Every structure is written in C-alpha cells, then in structure tokens.
Structure 1
Amino acid sequence: MAAKEKRSAARRRTGHAVLLATTVLSTTLVAGTSASADPQQPGDAAGKLRELAKRAEVVTEEVKQAKENYAAHQDELRRAKADTAAAEHTVAQARQRQEALRGKVDRLSASAYEGTPLSNVSVLMTSETPRALLDRASALNVLADDKKSALDSFSAATSAAENGQRQASAARDRAAKAVTEAGKQRAQLVARKKAMDAEIAKVRSQYDSLSSAQRAEYAGPDSDVGPLAGSGAAIAAVNAALGKQGSPYVFGAKGPSTFDCSGLVAWAYRQAGVSVPAGTQSQVGFGRAVSESEMRPGDVVFYYSSASHDGIYIGGGKVVHAPTEGQNVKVADYRSIGDVHSVRRFTS
C-alpha cells in the first residue's frame, strides 16, 4: 500500500512539472510573438521619431552653414579677381606714364653727360655781362626745374607700377586661395548634404511607420495666437511668424508656405526688413546676447548644446517656432521645447 501511494505521489509531481513547463513555454512563446509583432509601443515610436528628427535637424543646420561658407568664399574669389583686374590696370597706366616720360629723362641725362653748362659756376665763368648772367641763370633755373619735375614724375610712375604689381600679385594669391577654400567648402557641402538626406530619410521612414492615431498625437494641437500690438522690426517679425501658424514643417524650407526652425526666423525677420543669416549656426552669432530674464518679444531663443533649433519669443513665456517633421508652426511654452542654449536680440 505504501508503495502504491509513493507511485501516485510521483505521478502527481510529474504532472505538476509538465503543467508548469507547458505554462512557462506558452507564456514565453506568446511574449516572444508579441514582441516580434510589435517591437515598439506607441510612445517608443514617437520618442524614436523625435530623436531622429533632432539628429536630422542638426545636420540640416550644418548644411546651411556649409552653404553660407561656400558662398562667402565665392564672394571672396569675386573680390580678389576684381582687385587683381584693378591692380593690373594701375600697372598698365603707370607703365604708359613711364614710357611717356622716359624720353624726356633720357634727353636730360644725355645733356648733363655731354657737358651742357648746368651749374651756376659755369654760368658765371662764361657770362660776358651782368645781363647775360641773369639771362643764363634764369634759363638754368627753368632747365633745373624741368629736370626735377620730369624725374619726380618718372619716379612716381615707377613707384605706382611697382606698387600695382605687388597689389596684383597679392590679389592673385588671394584668388588662388579662395579657389582652394571654395573647393573644400563645396566638398564639405556635398558630404553634409548626403548625410542630411540620409538622416531625413530615416525620419520620414519612422514617421510613415506610425498609425494615424500616433501621427495625430505626435503632431499635437495647433495654436491660434493673434498678432501683438506695437511697432518696430521685432514686433513685425513676431507678427510675421504668428501669421504662419499651421504651416507645415519641412527640413531646410525657408518659406513662404513651409518652414524649418531657422527658415521661419530668417523669413519673419526679412518681412520686418532685417537681413538674418539662413541657419542657426550663423544666427546664434547674430545680433547680441541677452539673458532669459531680459527677454522681450522678437528675441530669438536657441536650444540644445548644438544650438540647432530656435524660435521667436512672443512674450508671456511663449515662443512661435517650426517644431519638427510632422508638426506645424505653432506657439509653445519656451521652456517646454528643450534646454535653452542662448538668447539673441536681432534689433536695437
């Protein structure tokens, strides 16, 4: 009887073990299937999109900076070429002046070499009468003045030619350097543009993977803030930006219907008659720095350690900005966007 009870207990333990193993295996399979089918929760997908968008925004602003650098070197090349042409023209004119004076200087030099009486002593020694002395002395002074004038003019023309030659040489060197630097900047621009396109493609792929509900949640509500009262370029820029609420964000867009962050800032200030650089990397050095406690409408707030995002302060702790892919130009609490890098005032 005891042996029978032992066998029964062993069968019960075996059954429990099998049941437990089956339960664990089923749970594992279900969990594995669920994770494989839906690797991201909605919040994770939106979070990944935000991170990808931030990286793409950084590269986009780097591309804008590379474009500005390339344009600056192209301008320097044009200036160097113009300076070269001007210097070479100066040299040509000075050479013509030299040649025109050379004959006269040569004649005067030959006259002195051949013993023409040019000294006051020789005039005194060869003058028969006081009147003759005065006549000869007067002629001598005229000749001496003429010689001095000719030599001074020839010397000035020679100096002008030499200076022009040096300026032309320096301008040619500047032009050559500008060509080299422009080539480097163009290569960097091409490389950054390629990187930007790759980053933007990742953002758009991630955005396309969101459901309609996730996209709506990610976009958030639009804003509808009316224009500010007042005058001046800063207020005009604020109102220009507020007038674009609801306009879609597009990487690298400069308006007037789509914008990225720095594109909106530059466009808004341009409407107010203020020329502002195209990208955040240049905008962050434009105007003058102010503290957050000093902010007033029109000041531009920059975000993140890279200063790769910005918006225009409208007062009341709010900024109007072009947020990111999948969102529209809107007003937001300025602290909710991210860590503030700096604040710049573009107007006096």
Structure 2
Amino acid sequence: MTPHRRSLRHPLAATTALLLIGLGTLPASAQPAPPPTSSQDPMQRYQELGAQAAKADEDLLTAQDQLTARQADRDKANADVTKTNDELGKAQAAIAQFRPQVDTIALSALGGGQLNNTAMLLDSGNRQEFLDRASALSVLADQKTVVLGGLREAVNQAENAKTAAANAQKTAQLAADDAATALDEVRKRQADLKGQIAEVRKALGELPSSDRRKLGTVQDSGSYLGPPGAANDALQAALSKRGSEYEWGATGPNQFDCSGLTSWAYKQAGITIPRSSRQQFTAGKAVPLNQLVPGDLLFYDDGTGNAGAIHHVAMYVGDGKMVDAPTEGQLVDVRPQRGDGHLMGARRIVG
C-alpha cells in the first residue's frame, strides 16, 4: 500500500495570538516505537520515525494547550484593563460632580458667608431670627460635611482605580508577550512535526510492497469484552473502528490518531477525557500493569519512565492485546500490548 498523503491541519488559526512554550491542539499520535537508532532495517526505521513524529505531535499539542491558556490569560487581563478604566472613569465623574459644590463652599467661606454664633446674634434683630439663622447654618454645615466627605471618597476611589488600571495594563502587556511567545513556539512545533511526518512518509514509501500491504490490512477481527458499563462501551466503540486510517490530529469518526481514538471511544460511552495522550495520563486512576482490565488505557514513552515523554496511548482489550491507531500507513487494529517494550503505565477511566 502506498503511503496515504494527508495535509497537516493547522491546529489554531494563525491569526490567533498567543501562548507559552508547550504543545496543544494537534492530537498525540504515532505507534509505540523504539528510541531512535541507526538501524538500516526499513521496517524498524519506519517505526522509529513514527515514534519520533509522535513525540513531535505531543510537543505540538502541549504547546497549543499552553497557547490557549496564555490567550485566556491575555483576554482576562484585557478585560481587567477595561474594568479598571471604567472604574477610574466613574471615580473621576464623581469628583467632577462634587467640584461645583466644593467650589461654592470655598467661595462662601472666603467671602465671609460663614458666621459664628456671636456674630449672628449681634446681627439678628431678635432671638427667633437668631434661631432661624443658626438652624440654616447648621444645615449648610451638614451639607458641607457630606460634600467634602463625598469628594474625599471619590478622590480615594480615583487613586485606587488609577493604580489598579496601571497594574492591569502591565499584566495585560505581560500576558500578550507570553501569548506571542507561545504562538511562536506553536509555529516551531508545527514546522518540526511537518518535517517528521515527511520522514515517516518517506520511510513508509521505502518499505517492500508486501509490508505496506500488511500494514494496511486489519490483522485481528476477534471479539473482546470488557466489564459491563462505560469501559466496555468505550472498548466496543474503539474496536468498531478497526480498519480506519491513521490521520495526524484526527479525532474521528473515520480517521484517528492514537489519542483521538481513545478520546472518541470514551466520548461514545458518555465520558469526556483529555485530548492528548500526555493529558490522558492524568485522567482516571493509575492501575498496576498486572491488574489490567479491558478498557484501561496504556501509555508508552521513550523508555525513561518520564510522563513528559509519553508519545502513544492505546486501549487494553484483554489477552495481552490492545486496540490503537499506530501511525501513518497503518490502520486502527488490535495488536500485542508490548508495543516497543516501553509500556510505562496504565490508567483506568471508570470502575
């Protein structure tokens, strides 16, 4: 079977701006394969290159996830800037509202408008007039207290809002810078993955035609059952896709990469799990490799036992086998769970 050419999907619009180093919107893929060697065996080289491309794909996914997070940070920071600027505007409007009243009070004081009680008594014609004028002055004094207190509060609010707005602006700029850095990282990861995919396709094309035909044919059509419930539902969903072609970044329903298959299968069972194999390694609960049940997820790394180096995920079907989407040139099928020998852990999503 000749290599099936596919175009690499751009995970996030190039116009979207932002993210920190990492990986993110392209699903994790590629079959478990041994770490790079200088092997001249065509099939082994093809498998090694598939594993390297899978790692590049995971790195891209991580970067894209971080980009999404940085974009969210940036958007929140920009929203905070808008909010604090609105608060500053309201505080400044309150100051403007109190200004005329304060100016009137000041002019009255400077112009002798405020008289002490003795002056009022001397200037009044009788006691009743004095009481009336004293009462009016008391009201004016109360109004002055309210006005000056309101102005003082408005000024304080304006100062606080001004400081908050300045801080929000700085945060927004940092978030935008982080997003821009993340976007650059995504683009670098995309270019790296594109180059890795080209190598896989080249190696696939160099395989003997008999090997390519075998890779493109379902080898195991047996029946497998899991425990009743969601795990078995997910298992049957994955098994139903045997014969589907591998596609970088595909999540079904007709083409898949490795984590695209497992996430799609569990979605059919009504359960949402993360998109990439590295993220899926955080889902559910860890399960010993000697206690596997059908429906458990199997994870493969580079042989170091490092979760950050996971590049492939498959679903256990029982009898020491798994169903997975390996890499370009191969179909979804049931295979031995040993993979490349770098099975580093398993997770149980339900049960």
Same fold (TM over 0.5): yes
User: Secondary structure in 2 aligned to 1:252?
Assistant: coil
Flag the 1:57–1:119 CA change in 2: closer, same or farther, 3 A: farther
> Is 2:231 the counterpart of 1:250?
no
Match among 311, 317, 330 for residue 308 of structure 1? 311
Question: Which residue in 2 is equivalent to 1:341?
Answer: 344
User: Secondary structure in 1 aligned to 2:313?
Assistant: strand
Give matches, 1:169-318, under 5 Å: 169-218=166-215, 221-225=219-223, 228=226, 230-232=228-230, 234-286=231-283, 289-292=286-289, 298-304=295-301, 305=304, 306-314=309-317, 318=321
Structure 2 counterpart of 1:307, which letter? I
Deviation of residue 228 (structure 1)? 4.9
Question: Which residue in 2 is equivalent to 1:65?
Answer: 62
Match among 156, 161, 171 for residue 158 of structure 2? 161
Match among 94, 102, 107 for residue 104 of structure 2? 107
Higher mean alpha-carbon deviation, 270-279 vs 62-71, is at 270-279
Q: For the residues of structure 2 that align with 1:185 and 1:135, how far apart are their CA atoms?
A: 74
Question: Which residue in 2 is equivalent to 1:28?
Answer: none
Checking the alignment, whether the CA contact within 8 Å between 1:223 and 1:246 is kept in structure 2 is no
User: Secondary structure in 2 aligned to 1:331?
Assistant: strand
**Could you say which structure has the greater relative contact order, defined with CA pairs below 8 angstroms and 6 or more residues apart?**
2
Flag the 1:79–1:121 CA change in 2: closer, same or farther, 3 A: farther
Q: RMSD of the alignment, in Å? A: 3.4
More helix per residue: 1 or 2? 1
Deviation of residue 271 (structure 1)? 3.9
Structure 1 counterpart of 2:180, which letter? G
Checking the alignment, whether the CA contact within 8 Å between 1:73 and 1:178 is kept in structure 2 is yes
User: Secondary structure in 2 aligned to 1:53?
Assistant: helix
Deviation of residue 55 (structure 1)? 0.8
Match among 57, 75, 88 for residue 72 of structure 2? 75
Q: For the residues of structure 1 that align with 2:121 and 2:177, how far apart are their CA atoms?
A: 69
Question: Which residue in 2 is equivalent to 1:46?
Answer: 43
Question: What is the percentage of aligned positions where both structures have the same residue?
Answer: 35
Deviation of residue 59 (structure 1)? 0.7
User: Secondary structure in 1 aligned to 2:174?
Assistant: helix
> For this pair of structures, how many residues does the alignment match?
306
Higher mean alpha-carbon deviation, 126-135 vs 87-96, is at 126-135
User: Unaligned stretches of 5+ in structure 2?
Assistant: 1-38
User: Unaligned stretches of 5+ in structure 1?
Assistant: 1-39
Match among 325, 328, 333 for residue 330 of structure 1? 333
Checking the alignment, whether the CA contact within 8 Å between 1:97 and 1:154 is kept in structure 2 is yes
**TM-score, normalising length: structure 2:** 0.72
Deviation of residue 165 (structure 1)? 2.4
Structure 2 counterpart of 1:210, which letter? L
Q: For the residues of structure 2 that align with 1:293 and 1:247, how far apart are their CA atoms?
A: 30
Larger Rg: 1 or 2?
1
Offset from partner CA, 1:158-195 (integer Å, 9 cap, x none)? 23322332332223222222222222222222222222
Question: Which residue in 1 is equivalent to 2:32?
Answer: none
Question: Which residue in 2 is equivalent to 1:320?
Answer: 323
Deviation of residue 278 (structure 1)? 3.0
Offset from partner CA, 1:136-172 (integer Å, 9 cap, x none)? 5544443333223223322332233223323322232
Higher mean alpha-carbon deviation, 323-332 vs 258-267, is at 323-332
Q: For the residues of structure 1 that align with 2:138 and 2:290, how far apart are their CA atoms?
A: 80
